[in-house]
Amino acid sequence: MAEYGHRKVALITGGTRGIGAAISRRLTAAGVAVAMLYRDRADEAEALVAELTAAGAEALAMQADVSDLASLSAAIDGVANRFGGLDILVNNAGLGIAGPLADYSADAFDRVFAVNVRAPFHAAQKAAALMPDGGRIVTIGSIVASRAPGAGVALYAASKSALAGLTRGLARDLGDRGITVNLVQPGPIDTERNPADGPNAADNRAPLAIRRHGRAEEVAELVAYLVSDAAGFVTGAVYDIDGGWSA
């Protein structure tokens, strides 16, 4: 298990479902106090809080729309005030709009980039101002940024591609404080959004060297390493966890 030194506080956007929930479980298991932002499905969020606290963890779920900068900023302040600081930010919340190019609505670009690019930037800006030196920022992207699987993903791929540049730039901006910034790009992961037995599952697995869907827990293990003390010299890096999709 990765080592974290003194008690750490983590904020995970989209932290109550799928990959985000797996990250929340993994970090609380390591003794990290976790605040999870969610947009809707409050019952599921509260159920996860109950699960984690029953296991002895410090956990909090807060409703926030990351595409609304005032809501996002207030949530980050609320987390820091509640737990007495902030050490780790995991930008996991994402929005996917896919389909034929001619069918995109006029606001599709703004909606996708507001969640997938603008929110991680502003969350990092806000969180870095609250973090001590040696903090950690990890963003969850997508392997679609490196290899589009087919038609209909132009907008989503563009938004996820922007995260590599953002990660490298933030790593330079924050390096003198020892704050690391890294990007994790999962391939097909068995979640509600992309189930291993779903209608597109076989096509998803076709490009892989390891012909199965990944598990959310596998992504969480990588994130746990990147936010640990052991990863203090790892920054500006892009990690593909994709079963060989990009090989």
- Catalytic residue numbers read 156
Structure tokens, 176: 């003198």
For residues 82 and 234, what is the distance between their CA atoms, to the nearest angstrom? 29
3-state DSSP helix/strand/coil percent for the chain, to nearest 5? 45, 15, 40
User: CB within 8 A of 131, min separation 6: which ones?
Assistant: 85, 86, 87, 89, 177, 179
CA distances from 4 to 7, 13, 36, 87, 88 (A): 7, 20, 19, 10, 11
Whether the Cβ atoms of residue 59 and residue 49 lie closer than 8 Å to each other: yes
Whether the Cβ atoms of residue 52 and residue 35 lie closer than 8 Å to each other: no
